[in-house]
Structure formats: C-alpha cells, structure tokens
Structure 1
Amino acid sequence: MVVPQKGYSMRRQLLQMVLLHTAWEMGSGQLHYSVLEESKHGTFVGRIAQDLGLEVSELVPRMFRVVSKGRGDYFEVNVQNGILFVNSQIDREELCGKSPLCAIHLEVIVDKPSRVFHVEVEITDINDNAPFFTAREENFLIPESRLVGSFFPLEGALDSDVGMNAQLNYQLSSSEYFMLDVQKSVDNSLGFLIKKSLDREDIPVHRLLLTAFDGGQPALTGTILLLITVLDVNDNPPIFSQSVYKIQILENAPSGTLVAKINATDLDEGINKEISYSIRSVTPPKLNTIFNIDPNTGQIILNGELDYEDTNSYEIRAEATDKGAYPMSGHCKVLIDILDVNDNVPEMSVSFLLVPVPEDSSLGIEVALISISDRDSGANGQVNCSLWPPRVPFKLVLTFKNYYSLTLIEPLDREQVTEYRMVVRAQDEGTPPLSSSSSLVVPISDVNDNAPTFAQPSYTVFVKENNPPGAHIFTVSASDPDVAENALVSYWLDEKLWPLSSYISVHSESGKLYALQPLDYEELKLLEFQVRAKDAGLPSLCGNVTVQVFVVDENDNAPAVSGPDQDIATLVKVPVAAGLVVGKIHALDADSGYNAWLRYELHDAASGPWRVGLYSGEVSTTRALEEAEGGNSQSLLVLVKDHGKLVLSTTATFSVSLVASAQAAQSDARLSGLGRNTKPLADNANLYLIIAICSVSSLFLLVILVYVVLRCQSQAKEAMMYGPGTATLVCASEVGSWSYSNRHSHILAGVSGEPGAKSDLMVFSPNVPASAENGKQQDLLCVMVSDALLKFLL
C-alpha cells in the first residue's frame, strides 16, 4: 500500500501502485511501501499481512517477525491486525545522505512452514533541512577599475534534502552596484555582476546579504554575508584556459598522483601578471584536505586515499590570484569522477533461525539466512555463493537476489554427528575475482532417550562405627550419554523399603552419601538401600543402584565380668597337687571379633602359688599345697583385657580360702557365704585322666591350627578404614581365633557354651563383584576352620 504524501501528485501515487501490483504479479516476492521521513511512532505504513496473503489469526502461531538488516528497528508489525507501522522516527538524511533513492529492506519470517518474504519501504524526503552556506561570510576584493558586467562567482548553498526540497533559488539584498546572476551553463555557476561602476572614494566597502531558498513547501532559507572591498589599480584578473576541468581517476590511485593541471593567464604586466594558485573549496566539504595544489604550477596532487564506495565524485573550486598591489583573481571548477575497481571482498551476514537443530527435524526446514553484499558496482559487485564440504545434510537455496537460506535435506542423528562445521564461500565476478568465506557451526540438539546408568549394579561400603555426624562415607555416580538438561543427573534415596532419613542422606547434585548420625555396630550392622538417579529431561528417565553399608566394629566397650559384682570366692582343701583348677573368671565384651577376644592376667604374677589361664580365665595352682598352709586366705587381682588396638580392661578380685582336710565339714558350711561362683574340688584321679586325654588331643589340633593360621596370615592384611573403600581380609590373631573380611564378619565373645556368651559366628554376605569370588571362598574356609578349632580348645 502507498501512503499519500504532501507535495506528490495523484499521478505519482497511481504509478507507484501500478508498479507495486506489477512486481507482485511477477512473483518476485517483494512488497514496496513508502513513508514520509520523521513520521511519528505508530504511523500507518501498510497492511503487510494482507498484502503477503497471510491470515491475521496465524501470525502469532507461525511466529511472524520482521528483521531489518543493519538499518535499526524503524518498523514494527501489530500481530493483532497485521499492520506495518513506524516504530521510531527516521531521519532520511542520516540514513541515506544525498542518495536519490532511500529504502529500508525488511525480511519477514514465518514458521510452520518456514518462509521468508522481502519488503522494501521507501523513505520519502520532506523539507526538514534549511539551506546552509559553508561560511558565515565571504570577502571579495574588487578593484574599482573592474568593468560593469564583471562576474564574480559565489559558493552556492548546500541542502541535505533531495529532489524539489533541495532545488535552491537565491536572492541578493538590494544594491545599486551589484546584482545576482545565475549562469545557466554547464556548471550552473552562481555569482553576482557589477551593474554600476565602482567608486572606492564613494563607497569603499559593500555589505550584501545573499539568501538561498529551497523548493519545499513551505520554503526554508539560509543566508551568507558578502563583504566587498573596492580596490584600486590592477584591473585585469587572471583568466583560466577552461572554466571547467573534467577529470577521471581510479579509486586505487596512490597518494601523490597528479590529478590535473590547471592554467590561468593575466593580461597585466610585471608583478600584476604573476599568478598564485589555490583551492577555495572541495565538495563534499569533509574531504577538503584530500587534494593539494602547487601554488606556482597549478598541479593538483592527490593527498590521501580514494574510495569509490564512499564518494564517487569530487568538485574542486580553484582560484588564480595575481600578485599586484591589489590582487585580482580568476576562478574555475575541477570535476573529478572516481572509477571503481574491484577492491571490496563480498561481505556475508548469517542469521540463524533454528540453532541448535533438533535431531528429529523434518526435511526442508530452513536453519539459517545468509545475505551477501559487495560494495563494488557492476560486475565487481555480482556475487556467487557455494557451500563446502558438499557432503553435508544441508544445501544453500537462493531465495532473493543475494539472499540464501541454509536448508536441511537429509535426516540428522546426534549420536553419530553432534555438530556440522561448514564454510560458505562468496566470490564476485570482478577481474581478478575476490572472495570471502564464513564458517558455520550447526549443533544438533538431543532428545532424552538415555536413562542415567551406574558403573555397577551395586556398591558395598564399610564404615567404622562412632563416625562423626555428617561424615562422607561414599560417592555414587551415574552417567547419561545425553547432553544439556537431558544429562543433568540428580540423586535421591528410595525409602519405600527402609526409612533412611535419620541414618543416611545423599547430595542431590554430587551423589555424595553422608552418615547423619554416629553408627553403632552393637545396634546396627547393615544398611541396605537404593539410590536413584534421574535426569532433567522431559519426560525424565531414571536409573538405580543398590548400596550396602556395613558397620565395622571398633573397640569401644570394655570387658565386663559376669555377675552383679567383680568379687569371686572359692574354697580349696589342702593338700592339693600343682595345676589344680580352683575356679574360673567369666567375662564378656560387647564388641565383636578381635575387639571381643579376651585374655586374663594376674596383677602381680610373681606372688603366690597361683596362675590364671591366658584365654580361659581358669585359676589354678602353680605348685603343690600342703596341709600346713591350711587356714590361709588369699585375694588375687585379675586383669581382663581385650585385643583392640586401644586395649580396654577391667579387674576382678578372686578370693581363695585354704583349709585342711580335718576342717572340710566346717569349711563346706562357710563356702556358701563366700561367693556365688565357688566350686567343689574334683576327684584327683578323674582330673588327672581328663588332663591327659585333653593334652594329647590339644597337641594334635594345635598343629592343625598353627598351619591354618600361617596360611591365612600370608594372604591377609588389615585394610579397614573410615570412609569409602573396600575392606580386605583380616585373618588370624596371635592364635588364629578371629577373622574378618568384606564377605564375612565373625564376632567372638566369651567361651562357647557358657551362660551369657554371644553368638559364636555371625555371617554377613554382601554383594561383591564375581571376580573376587575365588579369593573370598578361600578366606571363608580359613575363618571357619580357625574359629572351629578355637572353640574346641576353649
């Protein structure tokens, strides 16, 4: 649609509409609108949705959007009604300068399916810039001898507008000596004429105001003061051989190149004939230093670098001044046309529409838009585009002039190729041709099709009891071959089978397992639970692993002597033989294994005829006792110690009363009040027989026991530690009575078969890798044989 504009006839509007309709019918896919510059925000431009054949209701679902290439965000589309309107004010002069045609190219993009339309909005000039002169005033030195009709050129005004708004007319303030003159020749020279002979003595200085009017409605003006000083004598100005010099030069000409040589002559004689050349002005003004002139020869030299794409023509106003007492000047123009050379490589701009590309994308989808431009003109600005390597699932499709789309032509698989690296090469048709390239990286996005997995189906963890609260005991880790959020794994405990919140916690991000409270082996020996890993995909996928936490015993319980107190009394009838067992101390340890294995010692081993069994706790005589020793009472202090690394111990008092045979009846009556653990003496003959049989049997079994213990000790070492790790076999004490491995846990306390003793054998069978099965079977055999022999001996 064309917006009616002030200053434009109905005929031009109709012509624009016809051209727009013709372009659409030709299938170019381009719309053309026009709008006045400086239009306010919200100014109507056109019904773009209707003109493109799109329904207003489908603009939002299809993600209708407008992209302006490198020209700012000047336009916007109301997706509720499909109207293109001005988003921000546009200054045509700032946008396009003096270019007669100023247009902004818009790319309209819709999805589902993806399409790209091209819209061109012409920015129409309004008369918003007044004419201006490059200086506030201009000085002239005119001899009084100058003839009536003499012409003096003036520097015209400039107007940033274009068209009629830049067509300038001039008016000179009223003067009886001077009049304005515009010479309608090739150069359209502006100046003033002398219409009456000058008389310096009458008026030495004339002040005239030159006003410039543009062709806009209403017209805008600019002024300059002309200061004319009347001189005497030297009455012949220099005259150039040409009033206009036309020059062509290549844009790649080096600095110092001779551009032109101008020549002027003076009819005067002597010093009034000597001429000096100078440059009055260069248009455009911002480049007034790019040319130098030799004041003596009139040679104009290039003093910089030319760029056809920046400025393709220059206008130099040169002046020749004689050296008379009252100098006179002549003027000419030098018009310089710059010739283009192929000195600009093609420029490339890539706009990604769909990055990363989902691996399940449909064929034909547009991934990126590529626009190619070349600042050169003619064949130097014609560009061809290609894609390398050729064997990729994408191709370039020419959509409009130098616009290409990168289109998917083959199915994608992220598991085979995670990204594609391509090079787009653009080459112009100049001589020699210039080219440029741009690397494209198109990543392929993943779908969540892989669940988190653990390195093994289960883990076995050993933790010493009495750990500090919050201690790190193990770390589980799951991997997910997906990427981004599909591979972001979080962990949690599955408490469906066991309430773990008071014992174990897991860090949701790192997978670190923490013991929330100190563990007590005597209360809890095994925690078995599942840790689940879930990714952050939609929908999320899960994996799980079984964790078995075995609590390892520490020596934190001292031995305790059985009974309510630690005083034990017994009555012994003398005489007795050496080696007679007179009593036994019973003690228990709440710990297990090596920490619960007890030994007994006399506090003063050198005193008295007594000894205590190192591991049995039996108190016996070291020598024969005679009847003469009857009537004596002795107290023995027995130390009970465990075998922990930090040995814990307790004491028991064992009282022995010696009585002669004659006093047996009375002693027996008193014995019941001495202690609850006293025993009558056994028959000596039976005792000796039992001792003989046990000694022979023990000797045989001891040989077997020593062999098994030495075999186990050669394979085992203590490797229990606090925290994550695998416990290896710890087999054999000093007599091979206790064993522990990461497959079996044996707890021994007291003597088998005695009241109050703990279980002789406790076996835990955690899950361990199959590769360790053979070694663990041998460890188990060692442990079982050792414990069985120990119990038999005890």
Structure 2
Amino acid sequence: MLSAEIPTGTVLATLQAHDNDLENTPNSQFNMTLASQEPALPKIVLQTLTSSTTLYQLSLMGCFDYDKAKQYKVLVIAKDQGTPSLSSTATVNLDIEDSNTYPPIFTAAKYNTEVMEMEFNKEILRMGVTDKDTPNTPASRAVFTILKGNEEGNYKIETDPKTNEGVLYVIKGKDFEKTEITELEISVKNEEKLFKCVDGMPVTNFNPPANSVKVEVKVIDVNDPPVFKKDVEMIYRPENTSPGDLLFTPEVKDEDSDVANMRFELDTETDPAKWVNVDPKSGKITTVKKMDRESSHVINDTYTVVIYAIDDGEPQGTGTCTVVIYLGDMNDNAPYLLTKTAVLCGNTVDRVNVETADIDKPPFAGPFSFSLMGEKELEDLWKFDPTTGHSTSLIRLKRLPHGNYSIPLKIQDQQGLAAEEVFNVVVCDCEGENVCRGRQGWSSRLDSAGIGLIFTGILLFALLLLLSLRCENGSKTFQHIPLNMQYEGNQTLMKYNEEGGGTVNKAKYMIDGFRKSEHGSLSSPIRYSSNRFNDTSNGRGVMSMSGVSHLSRSYSSRSDKHLAEYIDRRLLGLPEDLSDYPEDLPCQYECEGKESDCESLAISQFTDSDFGDKLDFLQDLGPKFNTLSGICQQSMTRKNARL
C-alpha cells in the first residue's frame, strides 16, 4: 500500500529475474523493460541497479492522485540475448492509500451557546465538521483549536473520537458581573498535513488556512455566594481562656446580595467539644467553654471549626471559611505515676523503678523532682535516687519484713506544680522476674495428750448440759403430747403489734402490783431465765418454753374486762400532778387487721364449772387449732389449771 503523498523519485518496487541457461553466455544474459502502465500518469520508470544485472527498480516520477486512480498496473518484459531470443512478462499492481487532500469544514457558519454563571466542568456545545477524505484515517480526523476569546482559560475543546465532533467545555466559572457574553474563535484541521497533486505532479508550498468559526457564549446571571476574605483563617490562643473570649470576626463580600441580610452558621460536626459559638448576624466566633489543649478533640495542638455565610438570594448562596485555632500550652496538669504498684524482690535487689509522666509540654513537664511525704521515719527506710529526672528509683535503706508498704510521695514539674501520690511496694522473695514466691500451706499435729483434752472437754460440756436440764425442770414430769404432724411445720411463734418507743419520761410507777414502764405502758413484774419466759402476774397469761416440742399456756380467771376496770380504778387514784402526762394514760390502738374466721382465743376464758374437762368442741375450730387444743387439755388434766 503506497501513500498518495509520497514524493517523486520514490522506489515503488524491486524486480529480479533469472535464466537457467549456461552462465556468462548470451543465452543467460537478459534485459528488462517496462512494457506499459495504467493509468499513464504519473510516469513510472524502470531502472537497473549498477551492482547487479538481474535486479531492477520501479520508481515514481510525479505524484499519485487518489481521486483519479486507486490502483496502478505496470507490465514488465524480460528478454535474453540468445538465438532465438526468449522472453517472459510480469505485472506489478500498485495500490494507493488516500492522503489528506481535503480540509475539514464546519457544518455551521456560526455557533451560539450559554452557560450558568460560575458553572464549570460542563459540556456546553458540540460542533460538527465534514471531510471528503477516507473516514477514520489521519487524513480525516479533526483537530480543534480555540484561537481567540479564551485568554483566562475558562474553556477547552476536544474531539469526540466516535463522531469526529468538536466538544466545547467550560472548565472555570465565569463571573456575570464581569462578562455577560464571550466570543470564541475556533479552527479545525486534520491530523495529517494537506497534500495536493495536479496533472501527476505535486503542488509545492501548499498550506491553505484552516477553516474557523465564531462561537458566542452567553453567561446567565445567578446568585453569587458570599466570599470570605480568606478561605482558611489561623488563630492563636492559650488554652483554658475564660468563656466569652472573642476568637474571630469574619470579613465577607457578596457581589449581588446585601451583606446586612446575611446569616452565619457553625458546622456543628466540626465542633465536637462544643467549645465555640457563632453569632448569626455578625459571624463572630466566641468561646462558650474553656479549651483544653490536652483534649482528645485537639489534634497537633489545633482545633478546627468551619463556618458558613448564607445570603438571602434565590437560590441561597453559601460561602465557607475554615478556622484553625492553635492552642498554646499552660501548666494545668500535674505529673502522675505511670504505675502505682511495684514488687521489690528482697532476695535480689534493693530498689524499684518509679516511672512518671505529664501531659503538658515543656517547660511545664519534666524533669521532675521527687520527695517523700508523711512521717519522718520513712526517710530512715526509703530514699529516691536520683531526686530529679523523668524517672527515679525508690531504694530501701534497711532490710524490711515481707509485706505491703504504702509510701506517700510528692512529684513536682519544672514550674513547681506538684502531685501527691501513694506508691505501693510489695516486699517479698522472688522466683523469676518480679514474681513473689508462693506461701507454704499451714500444717499442724496433735499428740495423744491433745486428743485426750479435747474428749475431756466434750464430756464435761455434756455433763453440764444434763445438770442444767435437771435443775431447770425440777420434779416436773413431762408427758409427750401427740401433735398433728400435718401442721407441725406451721407452729411458729410470731411477734405482732410492736408499738415502738414511747415517752422519754424516766419515772417508774408501781400500781397495785403492776409496773409502769419508762414509756408509760403497764406491765406485770417479769423475771427471765435462759430458756424460759415467766410472767408472775395474774394478767393475761403465762408462756413457758422448755423445749422445742412442749408448749404450755394457762390463763387467769380474771377477764380482760375486769382487768381494764381494775386499771382504770387505780389510775383514778393517781395524784393530779401525774395525770397531766397524756403519755401515761391508757391508749386505744387501731385495729390490727381483719379478725380470723376462727373463734377468738378468748373462748379459752372459762372455768371448770362451765364445761369441766369436756373440751372436745375445740376439734371443730379448725385444723390449726388441734395442736393448741391438745396442749390445753393435757395441761388442765395434769395441773388442774384454772381457766
């Protein structure tokens, strides 16, 4: 394939012939000539190589015209010098490839488009071209260039490889207030240089001007957003400044809106510590809390917030400013122990390391000063070496018993800010690195004498227990009372109606054998024993407990009514100076709850003359009364108790 634009004199093909007759004789010697060519122009010549008698070349004398012929045929004859002369022919086909013989032409004489103000990175126009050369070849592919109107670099143009169109983009926003209409001049040419062939001969110095077109770009006005004087503002403040400190006052401009109608907002996501506040009218940034440089929200000593300026345009425009607050360090943190416990291996070393730190920066941190606190005796047992530095060693001065030691100490930074700490040291013998040996288990042995003493003590205790039971029961004979075991588990003596403390009156009065207590209540004389509670009066009753399986209860013939009347008569005889104490008078208490469905135990207040020993009706009082009924019957039978 030969290009149509190859220059004159170019070798088109090389031909070689061969004769089988005897070498160096007329029969093997031959000549080669060009017999014909189609089409006749441009002229093609056949030339021999001086270095060889069998090689020949076809050369171009002129230029090919692709539009006239796309293929050329050349007939070549080879003829020897023998007698008779013999010859043969060969046909050479030359295929021609199209060259850039036609320039691209815009499909329109002028183009118009528009773009929104400050819009960028957007396609705004496509421009088509025509080209008579072979499509999708360098001879037809278009190359576009913006000749004029793009001095600020707002636009660019590219070629669509599929459609061969020119695509115009706006890459930087255009300000309507500065420019409403922009006129661009755009040209187009091919990737390959233009070539012209006339009558089989190339046209020299053929360089026609590229086709160009005007493009008018109209800028559509939109609401411009507010613009801060600086996109990023740097502020320097010491940490822990008082709330209300003014950090920053923004300077904002807006080309087409009234600044007085502008409002400011804080991006709350950039203020995780809630340290600052933004005035919605002026945009002033003030602190609402103390800012701590050591906070986790401070990164590399900086705290960064973002504020917005929003105008009242339609649509609203928003400007952004980033405020970086650099916080200077203050001595607001005392040194501290990195670890407060250490193991002192008494069998290997005499000291432990004490590591300290301070989250402040120099000169508000180390090196630190170390000293002991507390009692003076500590200085006879321990010391620091060295007494200054970022760490030290606590050294024992004497051999100490194994155990735990709490040592109060003081740590001061370079500026004298001190912290009082307690360092706990475990003194022990170690196995391995800082690992105390385990304690040995305790063991003991008893010889025969010790065992004998234990058994003797047990026998003496049993003997004393039997004697106490004998003395307590005397000549009383106890008879086992069969109980209803079905309900035995419910026999529980419960305490009800505890009335709380009474008056603080300390006086005690005896009223006809009854004792008036410190709290003004009446009670009978009582005596206590280790296992027994006996009320010796003839009041409501006597309860005695001598064991867990025997319960006896007796009742006086004096009824509650008679007893109340008796007490009232005695109280009427009191002196007038004692009757002024209402806490000493009988009190009526509220009902303690709903009465039981069973008959009251007051039914037990009867005499032998009423029923005798016939108490079988008690079996009808309910299953839980069976046990109490049996106890009463046995007691009356045995003691002839008066009920």
TM-score with structure 2 setting the length: 0.33
For the pair shown, the structure with the greater C-alpha radius of gyration is 2
TM-score with structure 1 setting the length: 0.27
